[in-house]
Amino acid sequence: MHDDLKEVLLTEEVIQSICKDLGMQLTKDYQNKPLVCIGILKGSIMFMTDLIKRIDTHLSIDFMDVSSYHGGIESTGEVQILKDLSSSIEGKDVLIIEDILETGTTLKSITELLESRRVNSLEIVTLLDKPNRRKANIEAKYVGKKIPDEFVVGYGLDYKELYRNLPYIGTLKPEIYAK
């Protein structure tokens, strides 16, 4: 375990078994539909690469990067697009791949934006879900694991852009935040 971590919440083995289960379910649900998987940068990169290996169907991938304005007027849930999709998703079956669903502000804005592009269907898969933190009216159809309201890092998730490279997910020691 990395020195800065307090404890490991999800081991590599647990993460892989989650990816396998979700992959089986998605393979079944999208058998006859060409799927477009959209990874939300940067947090979803590891989950996306492991998950899509487990989806046995025709699929393409694309990426989107957004920055959310969490402060200010709560209800608008505005996001700024830092990187948009490379191809049109009109008429496509789209799956958003996210690392973690917390307040839901980010995903709410992204889904509204993508739905306005006249997709055939739009669903969300998230590796982690913190349901107790939800503010926006949004849920993911596919959830890897529900976790308590604790800040986690690793496997794509960062604290100040660090720890994304850890192959597992854990919580940080309190002194790391005090720095």
Active site residues: 102
Report the partner that residue 121 touches, choosing among ligand IMP, Mg ion, none (CB closer than 5 to 8 A by kind): none
Distance CA(26)–CA(3), nearest Å, equals 36
For residues 19 and 46, the answer to whether their CB atoms sit within 8 Å is: no
| DSSP 8-state assignment for residue 162 | B
Which residue in the block uniquely carries the two structure tokens 């919440």? 9
DSSP β-bridge partners for residue 124: 96
Report the partner that residue 105 touches, choosing among Mg ion, ligand IMP, none (CB closer than 5 to 8 A by kind): ligand IMP
Report the partner that residue 15 touches, choosing among Mg ion, ligand IMP, none (CB closer than 5 to 8 A by kind): none
Cβ closer to Mg ion: 106 or 171?
Answer: 106
Cβ closer to ligand IMP: 106 or 111?
Answer: 106
Least distance to ligand IMP, CB of residue 39, Å: 11
Sign for the pseudo-dihedral over CA of 79, 22, 102, 138: positive
H/E stretch holding 68 reads: strand 59-68
Report the site for Mg ion in 41-60 (rule: CB under 5 A).
43
Residue count (the chain)? 179
Mask 38-67, x = binds ligand IMP (CB under 6 A)? -----x------------------------
| DSSP 8-state assignment for residue 34 | -
Cβ closer to Mg ion: 94 or 96?
Answer: 96
Largest CA distance in the chain: 51
Which of 97, 105, 168, 170 is in the footprint of ligand IMP by CB under 6 A? Answer: 105
Task: Provide the binding-site residues for ligand IMP, judged by CB under 6 A.
Answer: 43, 68, 98-107, 151-153, 157
